[in-house]
Amino acid sequence: MDVLKRIPVREQDAKERATNFKEVCLGYNKEEAMEEASRCINCKNAQCVKGCPVAIQIPQFIEQVKNGNIEEAYRIISESSALPAVCGRVCPQESQCEGKCIRGFKGDPISIGKLERFVADWARENGIKPTPAAQKNGKKVAVIGSGPAGLTCAGDLAKMGYDVTIFEALHEAGGVLVYGIPEFRLPKSGVVAKEIENVKSLGVHIETNVVVGKSVTIDQLMDEEGFHAVFIGSGAGLPKFMGIPGENANGVFSANEYLTRSNLMKAFDPDSRTPIMHGKKVAVVGGGNVAMDAARTALRLGAEVHIVYRRSEEELPARVEEVHHAKEEGIIFDLLTNPIEILSDDKGWVTGMKCIRMELGEPDESGRRRPVEVPGSEFVMELDTVIMSLGTSPNPLISSTTKGLDTNKWKCIIADENNGKTTKEGVYAGGDAVTGAATVILAMGAGKAAAKGIDEYLSAK
Amino acid sequence: MYKIVKKQELTTNIYLMEVEAKRVAKTCEPGQFVIVRMDNEGERIPLTICDYNREKGTITIVFQTVGAGTKMMAQLEEGEYFHDFVGPLGRPSELVEQPLEEVKSKKILFVAGGVGAAPVYPQVKWLHEHGIAVDVIVGSKTKDLLILEKEMESVAGNLYVTTDDGSYGRSGMVTQTIKDLVAEGKKYDLCIAIGPMIMMKFVCLLTKELEIPTVVSLNPIMVDGTGMCGACRVTVGGKVKFACVDGPEFDGHEVNFDEAMRRQQIYKTAEGRAMLALEEGDTHHGGCGNCQ
């Protein structure tokens, strides 16, 4: 074995998986995991832990995997993470734990994500559950939103003995894990539902179909329903559109709508009652992880799919692994291209998209080189479907109905990143509702910090 | 789970259900809507709230069986349950939010078409309870399809019923009745029109001519109902709005109805549209999106 090389992980063949919704990555088996774990040099001053937003004791759990003691490895991970089977699949490890791995200086970093996933999957298959709190402290906390931030915050508080209720606006718990990330990247009934069961087994209640700000307000939760503190983890759910002519034509969708239909409403399944557009030629506008998810979903539903992105490959915000998978499956990348108009027929159905070529100019505030139009380079792509994946922003439903809860100019809730404290007493927030669209693990980190903040607040009361 | 405490077939293919939904009943106002799912595989179906009982904690919905989803829903019986029932969604009717004195000073006309009588009813009832009598026109294709006449009669100042085929009440479309009332010397400061998109379009064309400000309630395709999916986007006054959070009520003279009608047919195949026209027969009202 070459210690500089990681043990490759098995994947579904690209041609085959392009036609199904089964998980792409098949994960390690125990032998592979133990072998990969043996590459870890167990650093004293472990950099990987510093790269992890929830500070999992990575060398310690890997040590247990190396020895074949997977149950103990799971116990160590569970101390820090409520959703290891999810994180092992969707965290951007390359820029976090694995990005800091000493092994990475001269060779491949340890496959920390794949090991985490193996441990979590093994625990699930062997019926191992996290341990609930020994004693309840009688204090009630409301958590708004059952996505990664909410589940993490709720799980941590429940472990400390709090009586936690999660309020979810949709009919199913999981937030973006359920409506946003597709089955082929994160299996719903197999993985997400089980992780949520684990959080419930800690004593957390989940009430679905409650739109906080409409069905009930935060003030009502605190004054009438007896909650001592509230955590807002309502995410960033509002889709952005480009504002170009023709964008309301039939066949233009937000990535949110397209993915929600496929993921939450199961439209990918031919037996589902939910309709979804089966385009023949689809353009997905945007270059983030959500764009890749939408593109790969459209591909699996039978379309020729183009990613249309105004900058170059280097600036694609999506994870390298996602771009790589998308290319392998046959997604076509039209880079340095920007839509300027959606064209439609006399019945209002999309027939094409007028685009303009771009080139990279001087760097902008984000440090990325600013794309500028190449004059006279307009051209038309023939299409029947356009999916806009330009990012999302927080929903103002909560902030606009809660007095004393301040937001910034992007409608993000203002909260202290160390403890989630907002401008309203007893109300904490974290995740995309605070930062704008980011990652699952950053939301979990914020949920964790807020659980600590809430505990400090209520303990002092 | 949300229990159905009352079910009634108002007329062929139009059903009323009273459903236990405590949180919704506690906070809802006229003009708002709910999203229901009959079972764990069901579509999310948006329906305007037709009535509510804060003491009993119930919401009344009225729906017409237009597609597979509503047809299956119609098979639910009293004592059975909706799997999901979420709300109240959307903004309350402006009338409820405005100072009462201001509302009292206006002559208001409600125009309800077909199953649109259901969302009109709670608004008229609310105004009645606040001592405001309004004129109400209820239009229907034919006598047999008329719903909520008695209920409306008990809360409306004046009720004018009209049927397209003249089988009951006045004869002709609701627009004819509006013209007649204005010709008789009635003056209105505000019109609220709720019904099929095609009806609202023609009411708005007329009231624009008559210079009567008009509010309509839109029911586009939507998924979540909280601003997440953007399926319900409509163009109002040249700006894109989400009906679920910015509406469902809008200034009717500013709504791009042609676009809204076109967008309603996104998930209808050519075959499905033909089937709809055939099945709906006389009740066909533009839901296919092809009618202009």
Q: Minimal Cα distance from A276: which residue of B? A: B267
In this predicted model, what pLDDT tens digit does every residue of A119-166 receive, in sequence order?
999 999 999 988 887 788 999 999 999 999 999 999 999 999 999 999
Buried b (16+ CB within 10 A) or exposed e, B242-281: bbbbbbbbbebbebbbebbbbbbbbebeeeeeeebeeebe
pLDDT of residue A2: 85
Show the DSSP H helices in B38-116 as ranges: 68-73, 94-97, 100-104
pLDDT of residue B276: 57
Cα separations in angstroms, B177 against A170, B181, B186, B213: 42, 6, 11, 17
Q: Do B227 and A395 touch (CB under 8 A)?
A: yes
State the Cα–Cα distance between residues A9 and A180, nearest whole angstrom. Answer: 25
Mutation target to probe the B interface, by most B beta carbons within 10 A, among A211, A276, A344 is A211
What is the amino acid identity at position A23?
E
Give yes or no for residue B55 having a pLDDT over 60.
Answer: yes
In this predicted model, what pLDDT tens digit does every residue of B193-229 receive, in sequence order?
999 999 999 999 999 999 999 999 998 999 999 999 9
Tokens of A244: 């170009």
Q: Do B224 and A248 touch (CB under 8 A)?
A: no
Mutation target to probe the B interface, by most B beta carbons within 10 A, among A176, A179, A215 is A215
Give yes or no for residue B272 having a pLDDT over 80.
Answer: no
Tokens of B114: 């077909």
Nearest CB to B37: which of A169, A171, A256?
A: A171
State the Cα–Cα distance between residues B27 and B123, nearest whole angstrom. Answer: 15
pLDDT of residue B289: 45
In this predicted model, what pLDDT tens digit does every residue of B88-136 receive, in sequence order?
999 999 888 889 999 999 999 999 999 999 999 999 999 999 999 999 9
Cα separations in angstroms, A75 against A58, A82, A197: 12, 11, 17
Give yes or no for residue B271 having a pLDDT over 80.
Answer: no
Which residues make Cβ contacts (< 8 Å) with residue A352, sequence separation at least 6?
A342, A343, A380, A381, A382, A383
Helix (H, G, I), strand (E, B) or coil at A87: helix
End-to-end CA, chain A: 57
Q: Do B86 and A238 touch (CB under 8 A)?
A: no
Within chain A, which residues score under 50 in pLDDT? none
Nearest CB to A256: which of B68, B83, B230?
A: B230
State the Cα–Cα distance between residues A363 and A446, nearest whole angstrom. Answer: 30
Q: Confidence class of residue B290 from pLDDT cuts 50, 70 and 90?
A: very low
State the Cα–Cα distance between residues A249 and A246, nearest whole angstrom. Answer: 6
State the Cα–Cα distance between residues A55 and A52, nearest whole angstrom. Answer: 5
* Residues paired with residue A407 on neighbouring β-strands, in sequence order: A413
Q: Tell me B215's DSSP state.
A: E
Helix (H, G, I), strand (E, B) or coil at B261: helix
pLDDT of residue B87: 92
Cis amide leading into A239 (omega within 30): no
Q: Torsions phi, psi of A124, nearest 5? A: -65, -45
State the Cα–Cα distance between residues A347 and A384, nearest whole angstrom. Answer: 13
Chain B residues with CB under 8 Å of A347 CB are 262
What's the whole-model pTM score? 0.91
Q: Say if residues B25 and B58 touch (Cβ distance below 8 Å).
A: yes
Nearest CB to A260: which of B42, B224, B263?
A: B224
What is the amino acid identity at position A293?
D
Using the Cβ of A400 and the Cβ atoms of chain B, whether some distance falls under 8 Å is answered with: no
**Judging by beta carbons within 10 Å of its beta carbon (0-12, 13-18, 19+), is residue A37 exposed, middle or buried?**
buried
Buried b (16+ CB within 10 A) or exposed e, A322-352: bbebbeebebebebbbbbebbbbeeebbbbb
State the Cα–Cα distance between residues B94 and A231, nearest whole angstrom. Answer: 32
Sheet architecture: strand order including B158-163: B170-171, B158-163, B135-140, B108-113, B190-194, B214-217, B249-251
Chain B residues with CB under 8 Å of A251 CB are 266
Instruction: Give the pairing of strands B158-163 and B135-140.
Output: parallel
Q: Say if residues A333 and A309 touch (Cβ distance below 8 Å).
A: yes
Count of other CB atoms within 10 angstroms of residue A3: 12
Q: Do A241 and B267 touch (CB under 8 A)?
A: no
Which residues make Cβ contacts (< 8 Å) with residue A158, sequence separation at least 6?
A132, A133, A164, A199, A202, A203, A204
Q: Say if residues B248 and B200 touch (Cβ distance below 8 Å).
A: no
Q: Is the dihedral of CA A311, A313, A319, A324 positive or negative?
A: positive
Q: Confidence class of residue B288 from pLDDT cuts 50, 70 and 90?
A: very low
Place of tokens 């019926």: A127
Q: What's the gap in Å between the CA of B41 and the closest CA on chain A?
A: 7
Which residues make Cβ contacts (< 8 Å) with residue A15, sequence separation at least 6?
none
pLDDT of residue B291: 44
pLDDT of residue B275: 57
Interfacial A residues in 379-398 facing B (CB < 8 Å): 395, 397
